[in-house]
Amino acid sequence: MMRHFTCTGLGLLALAALLSSGCETGPQVRSVTEPGSNLSAYRTYSFAAQPGTNRGGNVTPLTTFFETAIAREMSARGYQQVDSGGDLLVNFNARVNEKADIQSTPGPMYGYGYYGYRGGMYMGPEVQTVRYKVGTANIDVVDAKRKVVVWEGIAERELTEDVMRNPQPAIDHTVAKMFTQFPGRASPP
Give domain limits for the chain: 26-179
Give the separation between CA 183 and CA 126, rounded to whole angstroms: 48
In the predicted structure, residue 174 carries a pLDDT above the cut 70 = yes
- When pLDDT is averaged across residues 142-162 and rounded to a whole number, the result is 94
Q: Taking the alpha carbons of 119, 121, 123, 125 in that order, is the dihedral positive or negative?
A: positive
In the predicted structure, residue 11 carries a pLDDT above the cut 50 = no
96 bridge partner residues: 135
pLDDT tens for 92-117 read 998 888 888 887 776 555 555 665 56
Give the separation between CA 15 and CA 10, rounded to whole angstroms: 9
Fold of 26-179: Double Stranded RNA Binding Domain (3.30.160)
Confidence of residue 128 (pLDDT cuts 50, 70, 90): confident
Q: Which residue has the higher pLDDT, 84 or 10?
A: 84
Query: What per-residue confidence (pLDDT) applies to 106?
Result: 66
Give the separation between CA 123 and CA 119, rounded to whole angstroms: 9
Express as a percent the part of the chain with pLDDT over 70: 74
Q: Taking the alpha carbons of 72, 75, 80, 85 in that order, is the dihedral positive or negative?
A: negative
Query: What per-residue confidence (pLDDT) applies to 23?
Result: 45
Give the separation between CA 71 and CA 46, rounded to whole angstroms: 10
pLDDT tens for 49-62 read 888 777 677 778 88
Please say whether the beta carbons of 130 and 100 come within 8 A. Answer: yes
Q: Which residue has the higher pLDDT, 7 or 139?
A: 139
Query: What per-residue confidence (pLDDT) applies to 20?
Result: 34
pTM for the model stands at 0.72
In the predicted structure, residue 142 carries a pLDDT above the cut 50 = yes
Most confident of 7-11, 126-130, 168-172: 168-172
Q: Residue 81's CB: how many other CB atoms inside 10 A?
A: 15
Confidence of residue 10 (pLDDT cuts 50, 70, 90): very low
Query: What per-residue confidence (pLDDT) applies to 118?
Result: 57
154-161: long-range pairs with CB below 8 Å, 24+: 154/29, 154/30, 154/31, 154/32, 154/178, 155/27, 155/28, 155/29, 156/27, 156/28, 157/26, 157/27, 157/28, 158/23, 158/132, 158/133, 158/134, 159/96, 159/132, 159/133, 159/134, 159/135
- Select from 156, 110, 114 the least CA-distant residue to 137: 156
Please say whether the beta carbons of 43 and 166 come within 8 A. Answer: no
